[in-house]
Structure 1
């Protein structure tokens, strides 16, 4: 249930105070929302993104700038590939959509609609997109929406999102299209990159659900998105249908959790600010006042990853080794705890994690002893 208007206003004011006076909010985009879903336990990212803090500038102010982002070469290559996919009124894109997802008769080249979505400002473009979707759903043909603008309510504030494309099928169904420049070799692509694309596409699908809810009868939002990539080592497009139901569920939960950023903010010391114009020492104290959940995967998704990694290493947190290792270690949360348990100094011997560590330490000692004996 949405928060009352007065409560939402108070929350926006509080987040503006944290961001700093006269500092414009950095709008949330699909990448940021997808990254939140990938690391739902990170209160630090939830608060900073909810407050609209520019994490790139914040990381620089903390003295830990990251290389997060896309290179200019990759950006240009991606734009060139996308232009090829959408050439001739999106004929190839619609052919791939029909091949992998169906939804009506095969599209005829030149026989599909590509409405003009131009309008003033993101609000105007979102309204124009909603109208185009309504009109396309009422028709019985294929429609390609090129870079539509979607509005997604996030903690009472609209986030404006721009997917690569949305296809409306003749049967009235809507499909999110994500175009990426990484290759799809022998029908499959890098699992980590596909996972990131799926999380990002799920955000777009959620935004489409909010548009569809205002149409009677509500059209179907396909839970399979179309991922379009270069085929093998060429520049020819191929595609795959990716099921994003799991990502949709996770993203819904995380967006609901964002409405609790006021609880995170309430626990901060009085006067805390993330104003990037403040001294580095003050910013460091402010950032450290919010709990983080660092994992190596953050390096490809968050601008503060280098700072959080350095702190995790300094404090000997096992999360710095990866989420899978952290999960296997149970209640052992620091590397000192792990080493102590492995040596037998601490830990319950009946604990499976402790028993495994001690057995591993014994095997290591035997191996080292055998190697020393062989050298002599």
Structure 2
């Protein structure tokens, strides 16, 4: 039986975030291929983490900047190591190569962090020198094109680090076609280093409630994820007042894990703005809502909340960033708008016009079928991984830049880590 070591940036929490659900999908994928899995993380154990033990997966707490990891992986001798986001590859990649040089190195990017960071910086620039909170939170989404994004990212430390990690790994799992095209066309990443792997588990809710059985607007997302928190502020200060002026009895229910005090303080029933916090079942609350609001002003990847909305037959209102890499130009299951007035108008129409609502639901279900269910992505991942196993020496030889980066940049990471370890002793 082959062994896979997953090094988690955090312990997977599928009920807290799309990233947690994504990690559990990959775990189930490798279990289906009869791999033995060990999940290791330097993060603190979470009360909300998935029960990996019930799946036969060993949990291992590891330490940063500590050579005990070398002893651990030397005993384990994994056939492959999956790094959860580029941060873990930076911390542990050189140790894996040093102790287990033949182990395949996989990177699950989740989303392209440097792209999200660049868009966030552009949003902050557009908000600069605006004193009023309402005016600052009324700034519209970032709409920079690929060339403009590259210009912002090219000299950015995070982009350099993340792209270097992609080059150093044998294969990076990508969830967004836009990000693949950006990496290939602007960062010169060889296509064979990237594998498109969107959500592997897509389901359609059964017995969908109809228009009249649903009520309220819904917004949902982990409050610790900056694009989600920013969208809540955009709703609170700019969009929701416009909706509420036309629909004085409407309510917006804002769900999300880890709500901080600054979020709960926004709770205002008189304004119809309800901070609900944790959802016991995100699918259930989405299925019973009439319209999903996801006005993301920056971000990356594909959005779990919008996938849930399509699966639940819930029309969604989002921006070009929210819908990025989630459709191929076919009609969206709701509306895509990029300024607050049009966002509000579209939200009101979806909420009040049953025929528009039904049309949007049909478009969402069609998009789900045609864009996400038209291929067996699990089988494609299985085929690509088997090819990599058979030809990894040749593929590594062809990736000279990756080899060069492992030789140079990981040396600095290694020496810094060893210096920290010696200092701590």
TM-score, length-scaled by structure 2:
0.28
In our comparison, the structure showing a higher alpha carbon Rg is: 1
Structure with the greater relative contact order (CA < 8 A, sep ≥ 6): 1 or 2?
1
TM-score, length-scaled by structure 1:
0.30
